[in-house]
Amino acid sequence: MSIVAVGTVALDTIETPFGRVDGILGGSATYISMAARYFADDVHLVAVVGNDFPVEHIDSLRNCGICTEGLDVDDSGATFAWEGRYHYDLNDRETIATHLNVLTDFAPAVPSGAQKCRVACLGNLDPAIQQQALEQMVAPDVVICDTMNYWIEQTPDSLRETLKLIDCLIINDAEARQLADEPNLIRAAHAIRSMGPEVLVIKKGEHGALLFTDGSIFSAPAFPLEDIYDPTGAGDTFMGGFAGYLSHCRDYSSESLKKAVIYGSAMASFVVEKFGPDRLFALSKEEIDRRVDSFRILAEIPEMSPLRVG
Amino acid sequence: MSIVAVGTVALDTIETPFGRVDGILGGSATYISMAARYFADDVHLVAVVGNDFPVEHIDSLRNCGICTEGLDVDDSGATFAWEGRYHYDLNDRETIATHLNVLTDFAPAVPSGAQKCRVACLGNLDPAIQQQALEQMVAPDVVICDTMNYWIEQTPDSLRETLKLIDCLIINDAEARQLADEPNLIRAAHAIRSMGPEVLVIKKGEHGALLFTDGSIFSAPAFPLEDIYDPTGAGDTFMGGFAGYLSHCRDYSSESLKKAVIYGSAMASFVVEKFGPDRLFALSKEEIDRRVDSFRILAEIPEMSPLRVG
């Protein structure tokens, strides 16, 4: 039931057609841990913030039951800050500014209480830093990892090293095609699994997600949302729900992985309903159960009689 | 068990990274009827060809059991010809040339034997021509229609008239967003249903299809294909499988419509495996059944225990 999320804690400035928020709590480790805590009792966050980071945000994370012992406060500079804008179609985002600040020298120190977590989540970071974090873990059951186009392009060799060390990679469809250098997503998935991760999840936003395990493919639908206020953090929230569920059931069979994809999808469908991580503060387990049920209704194929005897 | 397909019969020249074919049998009415005939006993085709149309192609259609009485041979000109090229990623196609030829003056004449068909399929054509064809039908149970960006842009008023007369529209996601002038696909679907069609199917290529009926949404996966040789005709083949299944079961409930989407998706997944309609000549019902089974395996969400009692 224990999980550690290594990643970023950020101050995000987000503009969408529905409004603008300045310097709100963000970052991959934030979203992962805030989603995972609905499933796991023991959630640890490993990240760095700067001298400008509001103490209320740390309180918020702690009030969610997240252990922030691994949150390093680096007084030498400001917190990693991201500024982005989404246009009306919300599918592509425009990065206005990325200030790495204290993230530049981030060397993750996994506290002893977090080193024995059964599930390790490596949020999107320099692959070398992901490896540093992983070296401090004591034989986790599952290592789940994210990456992005920047590392695929800039640090391909280091990324390949990380891929050899992990059990599950979660990336989006464009990243999968780029990583495998292959436009066909199914072929790309096979190529990526041959690089190391036994399990691959490809997130496709409004088109759902694909899970690739040994010899099987699972296609999960996306929850049909009419109002998406802010897509920020959806991918990290997916990882949090996915990893959280796995740490909850402690079973990593193909059936459990499918369920984990549905929980990840459900959590992601909540987070985009409000700005930033707002929606992750006070969800109920009943709400999550109801949403998970609606995924089943959405995707259920009726029993079909064979044509050949028709 | 009777179905009529009004649309085009064309000579297609297609280039993909896997090869090139010149002047092969194509057109919406061809693909629709060739897919539908696996489900319906009585399939009628209504279209026009020119003085260059090879008689072997007419024989091919007839050998498939398709009634070609409604295939007008117009001696005044050449057959509608389309030339297109697909690049390595196969997602976007480039139209090299479109020669309307005899299609310019096409006035569909639905033979008396086809006027009483229970299911009418209106392939992608000028909406005014779709209406002309429909006026000749005697109270079909279901009218299923396709359209494209050209008619959405060039003949919006006429298209709106057609939409009022049909039961089911089948279009792709880009067309749905354009027709509704709305980037959110779920909102776009609601808007389109308010224009007339009670049932809407949005095809999303490699991402599957969405079925919108009164108060319910069904998300169908796409069959995971590693080798797509030629996407030409996939959308029309989907319509043929969809409409064919409905005419087979003569039940238009939401359950039947879901099954029809799976049959449409299965047929489309076959047709792209070879050039042109090649794959539709000799499929077996067993092959179709097996592919339909694999859609269920692909999308099946395991039983999940509620979190709230966990």
Q: How does pLDDT run along chain A (310 residues), one tens digit per residue? A: 799 999 999 999 999 988 999 999 999 999 999 999 999 999 999 999 999 999 999 999 999 999 999 999 999 999 999 999 998 766 678 899 999 999 999 999 999 999 999 999 999 999 999 999 999 999 999 999 999 999 999 999 999 999 999 999 999 999 999 999 999 999 999 999 999 999 999 999 999 999 999 889 999 999 999 988 899 999 999 999 999 999 999 999 999 999 999 999 999 999 999 999 999 999 999 999 999 999 999 999 999 999 875 4
pLDDT at A308: 73
Instruction: Tell me how far apart the alpha carbons of residues A209 and A215 are, in angstroms, rounded to a whole number.
Output: 17
pLDDT value of position A310: 46
Instruction: Give me the sheet containing B216-220, strands edge to edge.
Output: B66-73, B42-49, B2-6, B119-122, B142-145, B168-172, B199-203, B209-213, B216-220
Q: CA of A102, closest CA in chain B: separation in Å?
A: 38
Q: Report the residue from A183, A258, A310 with minimal CB separation from B301.
A: A258
- A308: tokens are 């050949």
| Among chain B residues, CA nearest to A92 | B183
Q: Which two tokens stand for residue A76?
A: 């030498």
Predicted confidence at residue B222, as pLDDT, reads 96
Inspect the interface and report whether the beta carbons of A259 and B221 lie closer than 8 Å.
no
Confidence at residue A267, expressed as pLDDT on a 0 to 100 scale:
98
- The C-alpha of A86 sits at a distance from chain B's nearest C-alpha, in angstroms, of 13
pLDDT for B93 equals: 81
Whole-structure pTM value: 0.95
pLDDT more than 70, % of chain A: 98
The token duo for A181 is: 């250098």
Q: Which residue of B has its CA nearest to A209?
A: B207
How far is residue B132's CA from residue A299's CA, in Å, rounded to a whole number? 37
Q: A301, B259: Cβ pair inside 8 Å?
A: yes
Alpha-carbon distance of A127 to A148, in angstroms, equals 10
For residue A231, what are its two tokens?
């897509």
Q: Do A204 and B208 touch (CB under 8 A)?
A: no
Minimum Cα–Cα distance from A249: chain B residue: B310
d(CA B292, CA A265): 25
B219/A222 Cβ within 8 A: yes
Residue A79 identity: T
Spell out which residues of chain A touch residue B209, defining contact as CB-CB under 8 Å.
none
Exposed/middle/buried for A20, CB within 10 Å: 0-12, 13-18, 19+? exposed
Q: Is the pLDDT of residue B310 over 80?
A: no
Cβ <8 Å between A295 and B289: no
Q: What is the DSSP track for B64-75?
A: TTEEEEEEEE-T
Q: How many other C-beta atoms lie within 10 A of the C-beta of residue A302?
A: 14
Min Cα–Cα distance to chain B from A129, Å: 34
Name every chain A residue with its beta carbon within 8 A of the beta carbon of B185: 206, 224
Amino acid identity, position A30? T
Task: Give backbone dihedrals phi and psi of A85, rounded to 5 degrees, phi first.
Answer: -135, 135
Question: What's the mean pLDDT in B170-174?
Answer: 96
| Residue in chain A nearest B245 by alpha carbon | A307
Q: Is the pLDDT confidence value at B91 over 80?
A: no
pLDDT band at B309 (very low <50, low <70, confident <90, very high): low
Residues linked to residue A120 through DSSP beta bridges, in sequence order:
A4, A143
Q: pLDDT tens, B20-65?
A: 999 999 999 999 999 999 999 999 999 999 999 999 999 999 999 9
Which one of B228, B303, B307, B309 would you mutate to disrupt binding with A, by most A Cβ within 10 Å of its Cβ? Answer: B307
Q: Please judge whether B310 and A248 are an interchain contact, meaning their C-beta atoms are less than 8 angstroms apart.
A: yes
Tell me which chain B residues have a C-beta less than 8 angstroms from the C-beta of A220. Answer: 301
ipTM of the complex as predicted: 0.94
**Partner-chain contact B184 A226, CB within 8 Å:** yes
Q: Would the CB atoms of A228 and B308 count as touching at under 8 Å?
A: no
Residue from A181, A219, A283, A295 to probe the interface with B (highest B Cβ count within 10 Å): A219
β-pair partners for A98: A82
What pLDDT is attached to residue A40?
Answer: 94
CA B21 to chain centre: 22
Angle, to 10 degrees, between the axis of helix B185-193 and the axis of helix B173-180?
A: 60
Asked if A285 and B307 come within 8 Å (Cβ–Cβ), the reply is: yes
Query: How far apart are alpha carbons A302 and A280 in whole angstroms?
Result: 34
CB A270 within 8 A of CB A283: yes
Say if CB B9 and CB B80 are below 8 A apart.
Answer: yes
Residue type at position A120: A
Compute the distance between CA of residue B137 and CA of residue B68 in angstroms, rounded to an integer.
17
